[in-house]
Structure 1
Amino acid sequence: MLTYVCFLVIISVSGGNAAIHSLMYTYLATSGIEDVPEFMTVGFLDGVPLVYYDSNIYRVIPRQKWMNMAVESDYWDKETQISIRFQELYKININTAKERFNQTEGVHTYQVMYGCEWDDETNDTNGFHQEGFDGVDLLSLDLKEMRFISLVPEGIPTQNKWNNDSAWLENLRFYFSDLCIGWLKKYLQYGWSSLKKTVSPQVFLLQKDPSSPVTCQATGFYPIGVTITWLKNGQNHHKDVVLGELLPNEDGTFQKSSTLTVAPYELKKNNYSCVVEHQSKTFTEHLTEDEIRAIHENYLPNSTIVGVVAAVLLLVIICCTAYMVYQKKIESESCSDTTRRPKETNPSVLFLGETMLLAF
């Protein structure tokens, strides 16, 4: 439905100056993909990675230093055990989905996203929960009606199963309207200095050899809003231009590139420039033979190397092609007593407790 929008939706509300803030978590189970973890989770605050887990490291780790101040000391152990249980559940879920779609061989993915939003100007809130398989929307939560809607026939059995669990649905309602928003605000307090930062991009022109395409690379910038355009003799130039994906760097900044294919004789006859516009600054790099060669010798700085989180997010982008998932399943300390306010703890534990391990 939406090519690579799943990632852009995550970060479209990022930046400390935005009125709408979000707390979101993604889950990705894979099957048949070599050298890729079978299960991964990433948590985000306003598009910035907070926590990460995969089935290779078997440990939930922070992606922001201030997270250790925002949670209790036993948070990481609890989240690790919970993530391991969910890893086991989603291994079952992806196999169930494969059977329902009659696609037991090949490469497959099961995706989930969930979270909440808060508008700090109007105080409006929202919650969301969607699940998908191989880029196909499976289930979506209608928060107003508090029921799941199946978007394909293969999801009907799960729709009926989940909609019949009234206690679980009430916990979801409470999570989205109260707990998630509370923790979103708490995380914003701790992470505000990081979220409101503005970092200018570094811009480089890269080329393997004189006959290769030229890449204009912008890296190390925050927030995400950046525009890369090419000029030919001072006029906008769109021919033979390929815009790259927006990707995160390991340090919480972002990178993006645009590649121009141009013949060497065209470079000599015309004046080409790459213009990178960011809220912090506008950069203009002129394509000259000497400049490109000099930059090619130095190539990329270490800051552009995509870290673990970037690799995971890139995989999420690929797996979410034609698909957007929004979601949240939740748990209170006592799911059987929905009238009692759950004990305050971190939102992931409330969501990921054993009583919330509902199979697809």
Structure 2
Amino acid sequence: WQVLSKKPWVSTWLLLHTLRYFYTASSDVPNFPEFVVVGYVDDVQIIHYDSNNRTAVPKQDWMKDITDQPYWERQTGKLMGSQQMFKVNLETAKQRFNQTGGVHIVQVMYGCEWDDETGDVDGYNQYGYDGEDFIVLNLKSETWIAAKQQAFITKLSWDSNKAMMSHIKHYYTQICPEWLKKYVNAGRSSLMRTDLPSIKLLQRTPSSPVTCHATGFYPRNAVMFWRKDQEEVFEGVDHGEMLPNHDGSFQMSVDLNISLIRAEDWSRYDCVFQLKGVEEDLTVTLDKSVILSNWRKSDGGVVAGAVVGGLLLLLLGAVSGFFLWRKRSGGNK
């Protein structure tokens, strides 16, 4: 890769910090705990609890520095109570949908965000069932939005409980942001770090799209795209998802359909990666000699297909750690 000039819009990255918790209750999912809780600050995991171990544990050293053993004992007690509550919620949801056995999942995502430049804060709370939205909090209107007919009875009950809504609003606008600021300050050296990625071009067969793959970068505020003669290309380009790595870094990819490109024009294309906090672009030029593939050997004499296979395993590992509930309400971040 090579360093190019700074793009003007890179300086417009939002300075948002987030604190998010994910609760997952499931039934009949093989090799998966019935109840799992994970918490994240700026996409870095800070806490884990599951029904197998039944203990809340910190996932970052700086979390241990700002807490004591009684804190984690209290968290464990609270989450053990939540485990029982979510077991009841799962059975209630199955009854509402006229379901009995089989795989079913209830998930909750809640938390807050804080803009450390403007000081603005916001909060969110949303429930999902079997991979789809169920009910979502609208903090501005102080009401709940039922995404499913089966959630309407819950909406009526929660909307009428003004004391509960007052408590919720106080938590998401006061308590949650205070904890978020505390966590950000404690983990600043880790959360504010910048890790550059390893960028490679991959291809399965001579006719397959060329994949530009970046891995090992942090933070996740990054974009990657193909361009021709310094202009972004949209035709024949397919953007993959951003996925977490097990070490807390991230990976992403973007494909380019080379069947649309003449051989003599390859050198006019390059893959561009831009990361928050880094002024320069990282680029790699479309060149057959640097592509790792299933159909020819790399310079080291090792079949490069093993690299592509390793990438597939890496992606599968990242997906297996990804949240089961992927769908999000349009009005939530």
Give the alignment partner of residue 115 of structure 2, picking from 112, 119, 139: 119
After TM superposition, list the pairs within 5 Å mapping 1:4-23 onto structure 2: 18-23=14-19
Give the alignment partner of residue 89 of structure 1, picking from 85, 88, 92: 85
One-letter amino acid of the counterpart of residue 80, structure 2: I
Corresponding residue for 2:289? 290
Report whether the alignment pairs 1:314 with 2:322.
Answer: yes
Corresponding residue for 1:257? 253
| Contact 1:43-1:52 at 8 Å conserved across structures | yes
Distance 1:175 1:233 in 2: 51
- Are residues 211 and 115 of structure 1, via their aligned partners in 2, closer, same or farther at CA, if it must alter by over 3 Å? same
| Contact 1:201-1:221 at 8 Å conserved across structures | yes
Report the number of matched residues. 306
* Structure 1: 5+ residue stretches without partners: 1-16, 328-360
Corresponding residue for 1:203? 199
Give the alignment partner of residue 226 of structure 1, picking from 219, 222, 225: 222
One-letter amino acid of the counterpart of residue 68, structure 2: E
| Contact 2:22-2:108 at 8 Å conserved across structures | yes
* Structure 2: 5+ residue stretches without partners: 1-12, 293-297
CA shift, 1:115, in A, is 1.5
One-letter amino acid of the counterpart of residue 286, structure 1: T
Corresponding residue for 2:270? 273
Corresponding residue for 1:162? 158
**More deviation, 251-260/152-161:** 152-161
One-letter amino acid of the counterpart of residue 321, structure 1: K
The C-alpha deviation readout for 1:243-269, integer Å capped at 9, x for no partner, is 111112222221101123435x96745
- Are residues 312 and 45 of structure 1, via their aligned partners in 2, closer, same or farther at CA, if it must alter by over 3 Å? farther
Corresponding residue for 1:341? none
CA shift, 1:208, in A, is 3.6
Give the alignment partner of residue 125 of structure 2, picking from 112, 116, 129: 129
- Are residues 214 and 189 of structure 1, via their aligned partners in 2, closer, same or farther at CA, if it must alter by over 3 Å? same
The C-alpha deviation readout for 1:86-134, integer Å capped at 9, x for no partner, is 2332232123212212344654332211112333344333332222223
CA shift, 1:190, in A, is 0.2
Corresponding residue for 2:10? none
| Contact 1:137-1:325 at 8 Å conserved across structures | no
Aligned CA RMSD, in angstroms, stands at 3.5
Distance 1:291 1:125 in 2: 46
| Contact 1:214-1:261 at 8 Å conserved across structures | yes
| Contact 1:201-1:278 at 8 Å conserved across structures | no
SS in 2 for 1:250: coil
One-letter amino acid of the counterpart of residue 284, structure 1: T
Distance 1:234 1:125 in 2: 38
CA shift, 1:166, in A, is 5.0
- Are residues 104 and 244 of structure 1, via their aligned partners in 2, closer, same or farther at CA, if it must alter by over 3 Å? farther
Corresponding residue for 2:64? 68
Distance 1:215 1:144 in 2: 42
| Contact 1:132-1:323 at 8 Å conserved across structures | no
One-letter amino acid of the counterpart of residue 289, structure 1: K
| Contact 1:250-1:307 at 8 Å conserved across structures | no
The C-alpha deviation readout for 1:57-94, integer Å capped at 9, x for no partner, is 54433332211112222333332343233233223212
The C-alpha deviation readout for 1:216-253, integer Å capped at 9, x for no partner, is 11111122232222245776444443211111222222
SS in 2 for 1:315: coil
One-letter amino acid of the counterpart of residue 285, structure 2: H
One-letter amino acid of the counterpart of residue 65, structure 1: D
Name the structure, 1 or 2, with higher relative contact order (CA <8 Å, separation 6+): 1
Corresponding residue for 1:41? 37
One-letter amino acid of the counterpart of residue 61, structure 1: V
Distance 2:327 2:261 in 1: 36
One-letter amino acid of the counterpart of residue 88, structure 1: Q
| Contact 2:132-2:327 at 8 Å conserved across structures | no
Q: Percent identity?
A: 37
